[in-house]
Structure 1
């Protein structure tokens, strides 16, 4: 079998790929496999999902979207993309509290890696999970919810505990959002800016002491930022975060009101997210360390800029999920969209990791990183115990999982 991840920087080692159409077919496949890994939309930049056995996609299972208005939840098929789920929810008058910057990713894959949106009051996408259903190593079907003491370890599972088929998510009433882009934010104003709207992202090319762009996503009934907001100026045309890329790929700006799912992401569902030809890394730091961490990177700003397309900074609220990069600390996420040249990026990535090391950075599990993150996760050993319980034979293990969560 040949195939690559979304970015094309990883060629899978899997011997076969399956897309079962029924739950029973999936259960038989998992039970009979020696090695198997679930694969989503492939928007990962490392080999965490690679396997020498078989890959299995749940995209072929029935596309469940079952709204429970009384409980304030929706149960969805794991292979569904967030953009498709959001469209269905909006039609019923409901919303998710948060969305990632691109709606192209699958629900199960995003949750498994604690992929996130932005906002000081909002947790990552996995924090919306109320319950999940998964096929375990022996082919059994298991459902767990927040009442299960293992739940906080099972939600962000890296594909290591089973194949997730359905998830139940918390929903809220649908809402309207306006999106504004401001230009030239002073570094000293970053902390204030990050608290200024429902969701905020600051973008820099590491070539200026000011942030190039700040994207403010706020409830439509809130007043727009004043003309002199934090010594910035208002963009009078739509912008793309990556210089030179078409703004048409991005969600609507300039303060035009629109549905939550058409404003909270940066990119539109029918268009290429980001630049397409890229590599990505992201580290999550305690928000209280933001100023010191950025200052630690300043001496290598020129090296970063030379291989960078754009760097995005955003906040994520603390949570209690064991392998979440936001576990028990409010977070500043520092995301790098690199050029698509692994050899040029690798030494700069290593330099960034070294300079961020004093701040106990937690990497996004689906991005490029090199240092062992175990020391930054207080519940690391507890998750290893779950691995022993759920997958004693290592059916779902990969080389990277063995590196970061060694067997006894």
Structure 2
């Protein structure tokens, strides 16, 4: 199977802001080759997907197993309303296949370019007060464990709640089985003029204004910025309200992102779910380019107070910020999910590629959010250590015990997992 040594120009994540340090990388093309790799030696290994993490979470001092080539056929079972998806499949590619067969997912992330296995393993979430994170659609996992054997775990199994948001800490996931629902239509609209005063007085009215809502802000002035709503349609003639709190619907030609050719269509134009739920188009470069991302999850009940605390830091945040995004998700029972046992508001920061400056701002944000037990996104830049992570993730020790039992020799351990307490130090 293909294997190579990393050159001095080390491969980087998709944004170009993290360089992988692994000595070697392998590219298995099927399950048998994954098994062979695990059985072939005793060194440390770790899975690498579509490179959408911003830290050393998917890195290793040993061999990176690049699973992006595992892109076989998606198998749809209409009777069980599920799809078996090879680990390397990107959400946008999967969505096209599902739509062609009349099926859909309950939600998608902002980028359709992300891989199914990596996104679900890190708790990537999309948005919507009533929508679980993407990981909640996982019905089953197939993985190659530290013993070199193929294992299956399904919803209801004893370890399932630990393994779904598993961070690559226990094995190499090769297939994910996802829940499906019938295809549906959507429209996207942008509201402007909503003030912070109105938003913080009734934040739930804002975040429940559509099936999925995103607020884009730069923490400046009296207005929040742009409220981007994604509405599920019964018919293509369904309308949306002309006002939202004290804001108003933007005309199609005045939509703030209308000139960006990499975003999905705005202006209330009806379309299929997979061309409206993501923010960005699969056939274009995503997001802003060279960037760093940070994100924290707070209980939705604490969201107004948490946002007030972040607003106090606006002078420190703005010089290094591209944009922030506020989104929501419904609570779940997945042990390492950001939404474990609480509905959350996600407070996201897309930073300019200024690592030193960003590293100085992050501790201030985390201190401001500490009273609200904010949980960091696993795949984005933060300053949490093991002690702080355990304080906000009540099942962290239980998940770690599962990972240690499944991988007692620590083949899937890396420096990041040790640092945040997901695996025992070695």
TM category (shorter chain) comes to over 0.9
Match of 1:92 in 2: 101
RMSD: 1.4
3-state SS in 1 of match to 2:148: coil
Query: Which of 207, 214, 227 pairs up with 2:242?
Result: 227
TM-score, structure 2 normalization: 0.92
Q: Which residue of 2 aligns with 1:172?
A: 181
- In 2, distance between residues paired with 1:118 and 1:76? 22
In structure 2, the CA distance between the partners of 1:73 and 1:403, relative to structure 1 (3 Å rule), is: same
CA distance in 2, matches of 1:344, 1:257: 42
Question: What is the match of residue 341 of structure 1?
Answer: 354
Aligned to 1:402: 418
Structure 2 matches for 1:204-219, cutoff 5 A?
A: 204-219=217-232
Q: What secondary structure does 1:211 align onto?
A: coil
Choose 196-205 or 245-254, whichever is displaced more.
Answer: 245-254
Q: What is the rounded CA distance, in whole Å, between the counterparts of 1:400 and 1:338 in structure 2?
A: 21
Q: Are 1:265 and 2:284 an aligned pair?
A: no
SS at 1:322's partner residue?
A: coil
* 1:228-257 CA distance string (max 9 Å, x none): 33221222226466xxx9521100011100
Is contact 2:129-2:207 (8 Å) kept? Answer: yes
Contact map agreement 1:135 1:162 (CA 8 A) in 2? yes
1:154 correspondence with 2:170: no
User: Structure 1 residues 238 and 400, CA, compared in 2 at 3 Å: closer, same or farther?
Assistant: farther
> Is the 1:112–1:155 contact (alpha carbons within 8 Å) kept by the matching residues of 2?
yes
TM-aligned CA deviation for residue 9 of structure 1: 1.9
- Counterpart of 2:373 in structure 1 is 360
Q: Is the 8 A contact 2:331 2:341 kept in 1?
A: yes
Which range moved further: 381-390 or 186-195?
186-195
Q: Match of 1:391?
A: 407
- Tell me, in whole angstroms, the C-alpha distance in 2 between the residues paired with 1:368 and 1:161: 22
Unpaired runs of 5+ in structure 2?
Answer: 1-5
Match for 1:101 among 85, 110, 134? 110
Residue pair 1:89, 1:95 contacting (<8 A) in 2 also: yes
- The alpha-carbon deviation at position 62 of structure 1 amounts to 4.7
Shift of 1:32: 2.1
- Please state how far the C-alpha of 1:225 moved relative to its aligned partner: 3.0
Q: Which runs of 4+ in 1 moved over 4 A?
A: 238-241
Alignment partner for residue 197 of structure 1, among 195, 210, 215?
210
Equivalent position of 2:56 in the other structure: 47
**How far did 1:216 drift?**
0.6
- Aligned CA distance change for structure 1 residues 148 and 3 (closer, same or farther; 3 Å): same
Q: Are 2:76 and 1:67 aligned?
A: yes
Shift of 1:61: 2.8
Count the aligned residue pairs. Answer: 405
For the 8 Å contact 2:57–2:416, the answer to whether it is kept is yes
8 Å CA contact 2:206, 2:244 repeated in 1: no
Equivalence for 2:3: none
Q: State the SS of the aligned residue for 1:185.
A: coil
Quick one: which of 126, 130, 138 aligns to 1:117?
126
Contact 1:186 1:210 in 2 (8 A): yes
Q: What does 1:244-263 correspond to in 2, within 5 Å?
A: 246-263=259-276
Residues 313-345 of structure 1: per-residue CA shift (max 9 Å, x gap):
011000000000100000000110011110111
Distance in 2 (CA, whole Å) between partners of 1:61 and 1:240 is 38
Whole-angstrom distance in 1 between the partners of 2:59 and 2:259: 33
Normalising by structure 1, report the TM-score.
0.96
Whole-angstrom CA distance in 1 between matches of 2:417 and 2:254? 42
In the TM superposition, what whole-angstrom CA distance separates every residue of 1:289-317 from its partner, at most 9, and x where no partner exists? 01110111222111111111111001100
**Equivalent residue number for residue 312 of structure 1:** 325
Gapped regions of structure 1 (runs ≥ 5): none
Report the CA distance between 1:15 and its aligned residue: 1.1
Structure-2 separation of matches of 1:219 and 1:402: 42
Q: Could you tell me which residue of structure 2 aligns to residue 17 of structure 1?
A: 25
Residue 48 of structure 1: SS of its match in structure 2?
coil
CA contact under 8 A between 1:35 and 1:53: conserved in structure 2? yes
